[in-house]
Amino acid sequence: MEFAPWHWLVVLGVAVLLFGGKKLPELGKGMGEGLRGFKEGMKGIGSSDDTAAAEEARKKADLEAKAYAEAKAAAEARLAAEQKAAADRQEVARS
């Protein structure tokens, strides 16, 4: 089914009734800007954004590795302190 000219007139009439004559140009402009932004965003996904995303992922991985190393060192220090405290308690109990 194709749209005949009178179909378009009906659609235009309904749009004018719903939104008013003053609001239609603003709606068209907003839709155009939104579509343009969407197209630009889709173009950017395949190019420079990939390198930026890879750089962000590398930085995040580095931070996570550093946090893991610090947490591991803290856990080992806590374990050593607990073992020393347990050894001290046993020494006191023997005395």
Predicted confidence (pLDDT) per residue in 31-59, tens digit: 899 999 888 888 766 556 567 778 888 99
Q: Global pTM?
A: 0.42
Q: Are the CB atoms for 24 and 16 separated by under 8 Å? A: yes
Dmax (CA) for the chain in angstroms is 105
Average pLDDT, the chain: 85
- Burial class for 33, CB neighbours closer than 10 Å (0-12, 13-18, 19+): exposed
- Residue 68, pLDDT > 80, answer yes
CA angle, 46 then 52 then 56, to 5°: 130
Mean pLDDT of 65-71: 92
Tell me what percent of the residues of the chain surpass a pLDDT of 90. Answer: 29
Give the start-to-end residue ranges of the domains of the chain: 1-45, 55-95
Give me the torsion for CA of 53, 57, 60, 65, rounded to 10°.
-170
